[in-house]
């Protein structure tokens, strides 16, 4: 499994600001570190997130709900999810509007972590 680095997520955040605007800046660097580290988390040498769908869910869930940046947290979460899946040989197979709906459901907590992982499993494919 290939995980994103903090630098890659920060780059994707900058890209999202360039694409759609927003306030630049980091609200809490430790929350970025926490979000980026979460997909690779283990306990006693065992992955806490067993597959790419759970790992992707952990990443986007943390980036959106931790709100580590001043602005563009949903966009950064979405871009990071896309990059994570591509780095691991998968592609997202949903429209931009469906991606926006996913991010909003995560933000307003109407999708649980399990819902996110299940949704990703249905809406990605191996390339």
For the residues of 50-93, what is the DSSP string, one character each?
-SHHHHHHHHHHHHHHH--BSS-HHHHHHHHHHHHHHHTTEEE-
- What would the pLDDT profile of 2-23 be if each residue is shown by its tens digit? 999 999 999 999 999 999 999 9
Tokens representing 29 are 């660097």
Does the pLDDT value for residue 101 go beyond 90?
yes
Q: Please count the other Cβ atoms lying within 10 Å of the Cβ belonging to residue 44.
A: 4
- What would the pLDDT profile of 53-75 be if each residue is shown by its tens digit? 999 999 999 999 999 999 999 99
Average pLDDT over residues 68-86: 97
CATH class of 6-126: mainly alpha
Which pLDDT score is estimated for 96?
Answer: 85
- What would the pLDDT profile of 103-120 be if each residue is shown by its tens digit? 999 999 999 999 999 999
pTM of the shown model: 0.95
Taking the domains of the chain in order of start, what are their residue ranges? 6-126
Average pLDDT over residues 68-92: 97
- What would the pLDDT profile of 28-46 be if each residue is shown by its tens digit? 999 999 999 999 999 999 9
């Amino acid at each position: 499994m290939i995980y994103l680095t903090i630098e890659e997520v920060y780059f994707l955040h900058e890209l999202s600001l360039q694409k759609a605007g927003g306030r630049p800046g980091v609200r809490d660097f430790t929350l970025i570190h926490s979000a980026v580290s979460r997909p690779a988390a283990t306990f006693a040498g065992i992955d806490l997130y067993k597959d790419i769908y759970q790992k992707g869910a952990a990443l986007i869930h943390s980036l959106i709900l931790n709100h580590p940046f001043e602005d563009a947290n949903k966009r950064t979460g979405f871009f990071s999810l896309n990059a994570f899946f591509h780095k691991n040989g998968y592609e997202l197979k949903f429209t931009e509007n469906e991606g926006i709906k996913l991010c909003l459901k995560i933000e307003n907590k109407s999708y649980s972590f399990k819902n996110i992982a299940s949704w990703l499993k249905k809406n990605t494919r191996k390339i």
